[in-house]
């Protein structure tokens, strides 16, 4: 049973407000006997990490204890909602547990046979993609994750892995199962083909061109660029240089033009959301790094919204309205003016349960 709480602070609208929490829900009607948690500060809907792999370790699936620690690390950074787009570990046991974020998941990644990191994905040939999508749609929380491209050792370069027509059929199958489809896409061909095939979201998207950006903007297709994590590209290129020099040059070129690509997407009106790609090779709890990176594209308020109220609305989560789940954070300084205020959270709450920031 949760307690009654009172919080006073500044809402994202700029309005000074008092809100109360009872039974895990927000109300703006005063509650007698409520414990006051804050008398000043800035109140935000809980942060969202829209690309975070709690169940992934460097060697494929992590263990349950590590997954729990990963989830707590994200919560401590202010992330109250995690979108986990693919994991070899089913983390559903975390749902509803006090002291953890909420989750929205894909099932396991779906990759083409021998065209992804070993042990991470459900690896299939193109002829089996549609059935694999149906399987993973039923295993997730309304999302399916495709690996859209990876290095082709025969050509020595990054190439798309799914024929466009088969991808189209797979996306339709996911929709029939009530799920949306997103895809890992580094290069140019995969993102163009999958957007043309009707995909619902793109992860990374460093190979976007003007035509594909236009289509995404017209359709409202979201992009989760994991911008800060793209700093791994030069290292990937260095590792591959001796054996795959074409791929290495390609990855460096994608890295060099990433800001121009994402600025063009932002200016065209593509919906962009914050995701860290934590898990495996990146530490958890790094949402502020991604927010700061996104601010270089669209400014502080855009970046803050991409990791809070706008991302929550996209994923079907409520914000700070009457009756909404009490998933929120409080900062002592104004994050709308200085994003580094998110380093100093005075309060983190999920479903009315206090967490230690």
Per-residue pLDDT tens over the stretch 277-328: 999 889 999 999 999 999 999 999 999 999 999 999 999 999 999 999 999 9
Decide if domain 46-314 falls under CATH 3.20.20.140: yes
From-to residues of CATH 2.30.40.10 in the chain:
5-44+319-355
- For residue 326, give the nearest of 97, 117, 18, 20 by alpha carbon: 20
pTM as predicted: 0.97
Q: Mean pLDDT over residues 13-37, rounded?
A: 97
- Supply angle C-alpha 273, 276, 280, rounded to 5: 145
Residue 343, pLDDT score: 96
Secondary structure element (H or E) that encloses residue 287, with its range: helix 287-298
At 356, the pLDDT band (50, 70, 90 cuts) reads low
Q: Mean pLDDT over residues 151-170, rounded?
A: 96
- Whether 217 and 268 have beta carbons less than 8 Å apart is answered as yes
CATH code assigned to 5-44+319-355? 2.30.40.10
Question: Which phi and psi angles does 127 have, rounded to 5°?
Answer: -65, -20
pLDDT at 1 over 80: no
Residue 280, pLDDT score: 82
Average pLDDT for the chain: 96
Residue 59, pLDDT score: 72
From-to residues of CATH 3.20.20.140 in the chain:
46-314
């Amino acid at each position: 049973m949760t307690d009654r709480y009172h919080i006073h602070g500044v809402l994202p609208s700029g309005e000074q407000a008092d809100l109360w929490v009872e039974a895990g829900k927000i109300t703006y009607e005063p509650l007698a006997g409520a414990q006051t948690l804050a008398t000043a500060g800035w109140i935000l809907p809980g942060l969202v990490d829209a690309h975070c792999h709690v169940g992934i370790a460097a060697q494929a699936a992590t263990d349950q204890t590590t997954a729990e620690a990963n989830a707590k690390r994200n919560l401590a950074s202010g992330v109250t909602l995690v979108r986990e787009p693919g994991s070899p570990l089913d983390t559903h046991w975390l749902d509803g547990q006090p002291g953890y974020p909420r989750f929205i998941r894909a099932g396991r990644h779906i990759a083409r046979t021998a065209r992804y990191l070993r042990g991470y994905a459900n690896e299939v040939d193109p002829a089996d993609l549609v059935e694999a999508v149906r399987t993973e749609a039923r295993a997730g929380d309304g999302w399916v994750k495709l690996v859209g491209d990876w290095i082709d050792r025969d050509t020595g370069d990054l190439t798309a892995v799914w024929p466009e027509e088969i991808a189209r059929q797979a996306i339709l199958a996911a929709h029939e199962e009530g799920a949306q489809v997103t895809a890992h896409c580094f290069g140019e061909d995969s993102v163009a083909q999958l957007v043309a095939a009707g995909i619902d979201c793109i992860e990374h998207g460093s190979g976007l061109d003007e035509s594909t950006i236009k289509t995404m903007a017209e359709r409202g297709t979201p992009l989760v660029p994991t911008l800060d994590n793209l700093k791994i590209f030069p290292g990937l290129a260095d590792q591959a240089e001796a054996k795959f020099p074409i791929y290495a040059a390609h990855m460096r070129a994608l890295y060099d033009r990433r800001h121009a690509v994402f600025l063009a997407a932002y200016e065209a009106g593509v919906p962009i959301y914050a995701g860290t790609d934590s898990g495996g090779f990146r530490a958890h709890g790094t949402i502020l790094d991604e927010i700061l990176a996104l601010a270089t594209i669209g400014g502080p308020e855009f970046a803050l919204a991409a990791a809070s109220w706008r991302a929550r609305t996209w994923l079907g989560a409520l914000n700070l309205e009457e009756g909404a789940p009490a998933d929120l954070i409080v900062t002592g300084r104004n994050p709308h003016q200085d994003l580094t205020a998110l380093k100093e959270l005075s309060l983190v709450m999920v479903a009315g349960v206090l967490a230690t920031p």
